[in-house]
Amino acid sequence: MSVAAAARTESTAAVGSGQWISQRLGRIVLHVVVIGLTLAWVVPTLGLVLSSFRPFSAIATSGWWAAISPPYAFTLDNYNQLFAQSNLGTAIFNSFMVSVPSTVIPVTIAAFAAYAFAWMKFPARDWIFLAFVGLLAVPLQLTFIPVLKFYVEHGITIENLTALNLPPWVGLWLAHAGYGLPFSTYLLANFFRALPSDLFESAEIDGAGTLTVFFRIILPLSVPALASLVIFQFLWVWNDLLVALIYVGGSPEVAPLTVNLAGLTNSLGQGYQLLTAAAFFSMIVPLVVFLSLQRYFVRGILAGSVKG
């Protein structure tokens, strides 16, 4: 039974009694707090969404809340300018081409490594793990020149990859994988480590090999953690601008959506009202990813797994 179900269990107190009233009051307070917090949280985003439907002259002179009372000055102009860009389709495609492998690679490799860190013994294991956590602190900017130099010297450039009919983003995938690995490994190792050791013992008794344990036991039980990781890594890569610019540059054939949208404002920063529409638009895919992975955040995955 879940915490939620446990919390929502019908009270055993007699209706109308003091205990029943205080439980009801507690429920009301809970709902008020939850809804209140959520509403306050949503206000900035709401401001963004409303602003994206207002012309620049309105944004500059009145707050977004003025939009919900007459005179209504709504316009689709910002969105029209957004969609008028001829490279939008390619940019969206490129964003997927960058984000999907940059998520799959680190999460998978981190899962392999986390399994080793959590359940295998090898020399210097704890120190290497500590190094992973420590490397979380490395600022990305310091890695750009050494890594890019390495790529250029070893021919991992867009020109060479395209000439070989390989996807031009390979360098970017590996870079994002490297950047995402410390956190992914850290999170998954902790999660795997928390799994009860009886699981592995029963599996060993049943004669299961390492691969079977990994694919049939650990991964299914870790779905919430894996789902979280996939969301975070995907989001971070989808919204990234600087790393993409450094490793694949800004030419339209390879540039992702973030580069495309950054181009809505000119070099003087004019046109920031277009960014409101762009921001709202580029939120759609990550939100869809989040919502579709929501169902993996369910309780009770561990329940009943060891018994019987």
Partner 1 sequence: MDFSILLSDLPTLVVVIVGVPIVLAAYIVGGEYVVRRLPDKNRPQVRPWIWVGPAIFLVAAILFIPAIFTVIQSFQDNQGNFVGLQNYANQLADFPSGGAWIAIRNNIIIWLIFYTLFVLAFGLALAVLFDRVAYETVVKSLIFMPMAISSVALGVIWKFMFWYQPPGSAQTGTLNAIVTFFHHDPVAWLQDQWPNGLAILNNLALIGAATWGITGFAMVILSAALKGIPGELLEAARVDGAGEITIFRRVIFPLMMPTIVVVGTTLVIFALKAFDVVYVMTNGNYNTDVLAFRMYNLLYLSHNPAGASAVAIILLIAVVPVLIFNLRQFRAVEARR
Partner 2 sequence: MHSSSLVRALVVAMAAVFTAVACGTSSTGNAGSIKILAAWSGQEQASFFAVLKPWEDKTGIKVNYEYSRDLDALLTTRVGAGNPPDLAAAPSPTTLTNFAKQGKVIALDDKIDMTSLKANYSQSWIDLGTINGKLYETFSWVAVKGLIWYDPKNFQAKSYNVPNSWQSLMDLQSTIKGSGVTPWCVALESGSASGWPGSDWLKEIVLSQSGPSVYDGWVAGTQKWTSPEIKSAFTTWGQVLGANDSNVYGGKQFMLATNFGDGGTHMFDNPPKCYMHNQASFITTFFTSAVPSLQPVTDFNFFPLPDITAQYAGAHVVAGDSWAMFRDTSQARSLMNYLITADAQTIWVKRGGKISPNKQTALDAYPDPLTKESAQILVATKIAKYDATDQMPADMRAAAWKAVLDFVGDQSKLDSILKTLDGVQATAYK
Residues binding partner 2 (CB under 8 A): 56-57, 60-61, 141, 144-145, 148-149, 151-153, 157, 162-163, 165-166, 242, 245-246, 249-251, 255, 259, 262-271, 274
With contact defined as beta carbons under 8 Å apart, do 105 and 177 qualify? yes
13-21, 67-75, 117-125, 200-208 -> range binding partner 1 (CB under 8 A): 117-125
Closest separation in Å from C-beta 204 to partner 2: 18
Q: Should residue 31 be labelled a site residue for partner 1 when binding is judged by CB under 8 A?
A: yes
Task: Give 31 or 149: the residue with its C-beta nearer to partner 2.
Answer: 149
Phi, psi of 303 (to 5 degrees): -60, 135
Residues 122-151 that bind partner 1 (CB under 8 A): 122, 125-126, 128-139, 141-143, 146-147, 150
The Cα–Cα gap between 193 and 129 comes to: 13
The Cα–Cα gap between 295 and 242 comes to: 32
Q: Should residue 177 be labelled a site residue for partner 1 when binding is judged by CB under 8 A?
A: yes
Number of residues that bind partner 1 (CB under 8 A): 128
Residues 63-82 that bind partner 1 (CB under 8 A): 63-65
13-21, 68-76, 198-206, 210-218 -> range binding partner 1 (CB under 8 A): 210-218
The DSSP 8-state label assigned to residue 11 in this structure reads P
Q: Should residue 287 be labelled a site residue for partner 1 when binding is judged by CB under 8 A?
A: yes
152 binds, among partner 2, partner 1, none (CB under 5 to 8 A by kind): partner 2
Residues 34-53 that bind partner 1 (CB under 8 A): 34-35, 37-38, 41-45, 47-48, 51
Burial class, 79, CB count within 10 angstroms (exposed 0-12 / middle 13-18 / buried 19+) = middle
Other Cβ atoms within 10 Å of 178 Cβ, number: 17
The DSSP 8-state label assigned to residue 35 in this structure reads H
Query: What Cα–Cα distance (Å) separates residue 255 from each residue in 156, 196, 305?
Result: 17, 45, 46
Residues 211-270 that bind partner 1 (CB under 8 A): 211, 214, 224-225, 227-228, 231-232, 235, 239-241, 258, 262
**Can you tell me which residue has the tokens 């295998």?**
120
Selected from 183, 213, 230, 244, the binder of partner 1 by CB under 8 A is: 183
Calculate Rg over the CA atoms of the chain.
25
Contacts with 87 (C-beta within 8 Å, 6 or more apart), sequence order: 252, 255, 260
